[in-house]
Amino acid sequence: MVSRIIPVDNFDLVVFGATGDLAMRKIFPALYHRFIAQQMPADARIIGVARSDVSEENFRKLVQENLQKFCPQSVKQHDNLQDFLNNIQYISIDVHGDKGWALLQKAMRADDDTDNNIVQAFYLSVNPSLFGIIASKLKQHHIAHKQSRIIIEKPFGTDAASAKALNAALRTSFSEQQIYRIDHYLGKETVQNLMVLRFANALWEPLWNSTHIDHVQITVAENIGVQGRGEYYDKSGAMRDMVQNHLMQLLCLTAMEPPSRFHPDAVRNEKVKVIESLEPVAQTDIVRGQYLASNINGDADGSYHQHVNNPDSMTESYIAMKVNIGNWRWAGTPFYLRTGKKLRSRCSEIAIIFREPPHMIFPKSSHQRANSLIIRLQPNEKIDLHTMAKEAGLGGMRLTEAVLNMNFQDTINNQLDVQDAYERLIMDVIRGSQTLFMRDDEVEAAWEWIDPIIDGWHKANHRPLPYEAGSAGPDDALMLMHRDGRRWQEIEP
Ligand code: NAD
């Protein structure tokens, strides 16, 4: 088979927050995998920056230990870990101060005046309160130039005003074309496959509207609680932490009009139009919850209130909502979104539920289901089409549900490992492709739709409903569907 790995240009990637959780768990493993795959040039450099005063040698050891922990198979199967580590440098900088920046400047190979084709990128894997200061220090110390790229992680603000302020702070040093706002959901194989499915096949487009689709469900369920991030989470909640970014992105990709071409701004323009078409949500179309303490199979765990150490907390660890999109394609087809912690299992998926056949010629059967297209993001990325079929054999016309696997795993990609979203996204930054990253107006439009909903809760002093850990969420969320004659997909691994 011809290799489908297209090597990227040589680069210097500076990772701020290099000793942190995200860097060790996701960024270094992603880079190591691209190194093994030879997509990354053998002499591409990674420069770790953090506050800790550790030597370069000890930093490399730390990276090595974490690679052994987070991708043990890859380390075992390849003997080039040392080559990868040799390309890593470390510089200790407290970004509030002025020490260390000159060293960083010296370590960079790319600059504005030389045409050496070395891409320069800065990954800000640090608290968002440091984004503005790092951006301005990079400019002040003549480290970043007009072609440099800067990568930032959510949260992109906590409301429209703070998102605008953050965007403005970044723009004092970087143009929008240089800024890559990561939402790792967009780097997932199936999310991209959704775009191909919709826009590279003529089959679906005539069906992709309210005439044929009854409703859409978007679920991002986690089975863990907020332990360890309690303080951050309690100021945020499911609406800010998940809906504003991940669920909103999935909704946009499902609902958007076909862009004129697969070009960053063409795609992002269509996504913004979806967000701007979202109708205000009535409080009666929202269910918020907080998980209770649990004891599942002898495994005792605290409640949301205990985990955030705040018995009066009114922040939601679960949210379900019915969202209407006010445009010709989707009028009459609601999108039901739900996300929560401590649910039955970890499961992220988009379910497109088609309408029932207009007239049923077969005897009524409990096996009859409307067709559905299930796009599973995690675990086990896949796309399944649920259809009705005849149960094989004699004995009359009995109907049964048949599931078609739309990944065509056996025919097109059985020889390729599915990459982690971070691998694809970091390589996209080096290639200079912004299609899978959020643009400033997208982020701001999402907050502008969400802010009045959160304000409404505050004004009404709204208290989330308790729900059992290990369940599918509060009973009222089931009612949100039942009252419309619908039901949620099962939350299953
Ligand atoms: P962390 O607390 O584990 O690491 C923070 C890093 O920032 C450390 O390397 C620390 O040395 C460095 N740092 C802190 N203050 C500094 C300063 N003044 N100067 C220089 N370096 C400084 O955080 P994390 O979990 O790795 O998260 C990093 C960012 O990514 C956060 O914005 C977080 O919201 C976001 N994020 C994290 C995850 C995750 O899974 N961890 C997921 C999504 C988004």
Cβ of 237 below 6 Å from ligand 1: no
User: What's the gap in Å between 166 CA and the centre of ligand 1?
Assistant: 17
Atom of ligand 1 nearest to the CA of 127: 32
At residue 410, the pLDDT reads 57
113-126 pLDDT, tens digit each: 555 789 999 999 99
pLDDT, mean of residues 223-229: 90
Whether the pLDDT of residue 93 is over 90: the answer is yes
Task: Say what the pTM is.
Answer: 0.94
Which residue among 184, 246, 305, 307 is the active-site one? 246
Cβ of 17 below 6 Å from ligand 1: yes
Whether the pLDDT of residue 306 is over 90: the answer is yes
At residue 3, the pLDDT reads 53
User: What's the gap in Å between 44 CA and the centre of ligand 1?
Assistant: 23
User: What's the gap in Å between 2 CA and the centre of ligand 1?
Assistant: 39
At residue 1, the pLDDT reads 44
47-60 pLDDT, tens digit each: 999 999 999 999 99
Residue ID of nearest Cα to ligand 1 atom 41 = 22
User: What's the gap in Å between 245 CA and the centre of ligand 1?
Assistant: 18
With b meaning 16 or more CB within 10 Å and e meaning fewer, what string describes 332-350? ebbbbbbbbbbbbeebbbb
Cβ of 127 below 6 Å from ligand 1: yes
**3-state secondary structure string across the chain:** CCCCCCCCCCEEEEEECCCCHHHHHHHHHHHHHHHHCCCCCCCCEEEEEECCCCCHHHHHHHHHHHHHHHCHHHHHHCCCHHHHHHCEEEEECCCCCCCCHHHHHHHCCCCCCCCCCCEEEEEECCCHHHHHHHHHHHHHCCCCCCCCEEEEECCCCCCHHHHHHHHHHHHCCCCHHHEEEECHHHHCHHHHHHHHHHHCCCCCHHHCCCCCEEEEEEEEECCCCCCCCHHHHHHHHHHHHHHHHHHHHHHHHHHCCCCCCCCHHHHHHHHHHHHHHECCCCHHHEEEEEECCEEECCEEECCHHHHCCCCCCCCCCEEEEEECECCCCCCCCCEEEEEECCECCCEEEEEEEECCCCCCCCCCCCCCCCCEEEEEEECCCEEEEEEEEECCCCCCCCEEEEEEECCCHHHHCCCCCCCCHHHHHHHHHHHCCCCCCECHHHHHHHHHHHHHHHHHHHHHCCCCEEECCCECCCHHHHHHHHCCCCCCCCCCC
Cβ of 232 below 6 Å from ligand 1: no
Q: In the chain, what percentage of residues exceed pLDDT 90? A: 82
At residue 411, the pLDDT reads 56
| Reported confidence tier of residue 227, pLDDT bands at 50, 70, 90 | confident
Cβ of 54 below 6 Å from ligand 1: no
User: Mutate which of 15, 21, 150, 426 to test ligand 1's pocket (most atoms within 8 Å of Cβ)?
Assistant: 21
At residue 387, the pLDDT reads 96
The overall average pLDDT reported for the chain is 93
At residue 415, the pLDDT reads 45
374-426 pLDDT, tens digit each: 999 988 888 999 999 998 888 788 889 999 988 755 555 544 556 789 999 99
- Residue 367 catalytic? no
At residue 430, the pLDDT reads 97
438-472 pLDDT, tens digit each: 999 999 999 999 999 999 999 999 999 999 999 99
Cβ of 128 below 6 Å from ligand 1: yes
At residue 367, the pLDDT reads 79
User: What's the gap in Å between 92 CA and the centre of ligand 1?
Assistant: 15
350-387 pLDDT, tens digit each: 999 999 999 989 888 777 889 999 999 988 888 999 99
